[in-house]
Amino acid sequence: MKRTYYSFLLLLLLSSFSPISVSETSQSEHYYPNKWGVGIGVRVADIPFNTTKETVTDVMPFLEFSNEYFFIEGLEGGVHLYKNDNHQINLYSRFRFADMPFEYQNKAQAQAFDFGFQYQYQGQDWKADVAFMSDSHKRSYGYSRYRTFWENEDWEIEPYAELNWKSSDFNSYYYGVDNFNIGGGVAASVGAIARYHVTSNLYLIGQAGISRLDDAVYDLPIIDSRYQAETFLGFGFFADKKQRQQKRPVSEQSGNFWRIAHGFATPSSLADILLFQAKTDPYNNQMTSAFYGIPLADRVFDAPIDIYFTPGAVFHYGSKVQNESVEGILAVKAFYTFELGPQWRFGAAEGLSYISQLTYVEGSEVERKGYQPSKLLNYLDFSLDVNLGDIFQSSKLKHAWFGYSIHHRSGIFETSSAFGRIKGGSNYQSFYLQWHF
């Protein structure tokens, strides 16, 4: 588990680098990227085990972002150790599903982001990659994958073929459920990923695929099907397809930012906080966070909404009921600016949060509801801030904002195996200073 945590922090640290540093070039040479996105969807997969339930359903959020140092594409991502026009060597992570009946997933906690290394070759309209990976207990596996791309004005389609080779330890644990000692094998998958441009920044996304299990797995008495189908359907907000070839400079008001916040835990739900009914944590647990913002867009649906990719790190202070812990976050955040005297902004973020050790306010709720804890959860942030330059009538403070935010971790109401099928999480109310440059 420690290896997973430190690898996540390494990805987080390197993701904060922008492809063009404002300190090295003029602001007019800093351009918005043509690849970014945030979305959510429903995955339905066959259960290969001999059970009365034949399928399992997951709600899965995802992010999309890339620069010269880092990339994240849905449920996989990595840090470029070497990169040119055709070749990449990456420190790599991909989410591994463990498709089993809904009621066993929280107890098993068998799905996770695993880490390893990936080599990728980029052709003109195709990619080929190979990866060597292991889980947190060094059960090794890997894959080789070939993808090609086709698109027209509204559609983007990505057919793929993949071979997955798995060690004996991997097969014995995840398919033999540690009761059968079986050999390794090679499974095969084919399918396609599609994206349809509805309008402006709104897209429908989907995936359909089928996998053939290897002989070692299929011969198990607890497996009743050699083939496993999966589908995914959702929607997301991405860079407008019609604007991707345009180079648009980032405005001075929408540059990179740093945000420093200090927050206080509350046992209240997100709904209670939004209704101004939040209660005080009797143990006064607190946190301090730092977020870095990289501008992605300044308009969504032709409205003046600023979009940022914003990785962050959070330090949770120790108290008499909890130890110190560190939280890492990857998110996409939107801001809407309006004037009511001075300039004000509403903000909302969606992302992923991984914590080294559960805080008291979260751990006590998980224990009370009888769940096994999950360190990886969905992340939401809601904020309201005001421009300090307008408040103090100072041009030196025109890029400074002071605000209030809600820091929220949750499992999306038991709908996602990625978050351990947990209902609940934690909330912090914080105050922050944000500076754009």
CA distances for 10 relative to 5, 13, 78, 311, angstroms? 9, 5, 10, 11
CATH topology for the 252-436 domain: Porin (2.40.160)
Helix, strand, coil distribution of the chain in percent, nearest 5? 15, 55, 30
52-66, 203-217, 220-234: least confidently modelled range: 52-66
Q: What is the pLDDT of residue 46?
A: 93
- Dihedral sign for Cα 92, 98, 99, 102, please: negative
* Domain chopping of the chain, boundaries: 33-243, 252-436
Does residue 82 carry a pLDDT above 70? yes
Q: Is the pLDDT of residue 243 over 90?
A: no
The pLDDT value given to residue 101: 67
CA 159 → CA 77, 84, 127, 145, 195, distances in Å?
19, 24, 11, 11, 12
Listed residue (157, 153, 115, 162) closest to 137, CA to CA: 115
Backbone angles phi and psi of 6, in degrees to 5 = -70, -35
> What local confidence, expressed as pLDDT, does residue 245 receive?
61
> What is the per-residue pLDDT for 363?
84
Between residues 117 and 367, the one the model is more confident about: 117
* Per-residue confidence band for 244, with pLDDT thresholds at 50, 70 and 90: low
pTM, to two decimals:
0.84
* pLDDT tens digits along 217-230: 999 999 989 999 99
CATH topology of domain 33-243: Outer membrane phospholipase (ompla); Chain C (2.40.230)
378 token code pair: 């969905």
What distance, in Å, lies between the first and last C-alpha atoms of the chain?
37
Most confident stretch, 16-25, 248-257, 263-272: 263-272
Q: pLDDT for 348-374, tens place per residue?
A: 999 999 999 889 998 887 777 777 778
pLDDT at 18 over 50: no
DSSP 278: P
The mean pLDDT of 197-203, rounded to a whole number, is 92
Q: What pLDDT sits at residue 307?
A: 94
Q: Are 33-243 and 252-436 equal in CATH topology?
A: no
CA atoms within 13 A on the CB side of 303: 10
The neighbour count for residue 76, using CB atoms within 10 Å, is 16
Do 389 and 345 touch, CB atoms closer than 8 A? Answer: no
pLDDT in tens, 394-415: 999 999 999 999 999 988 777 7
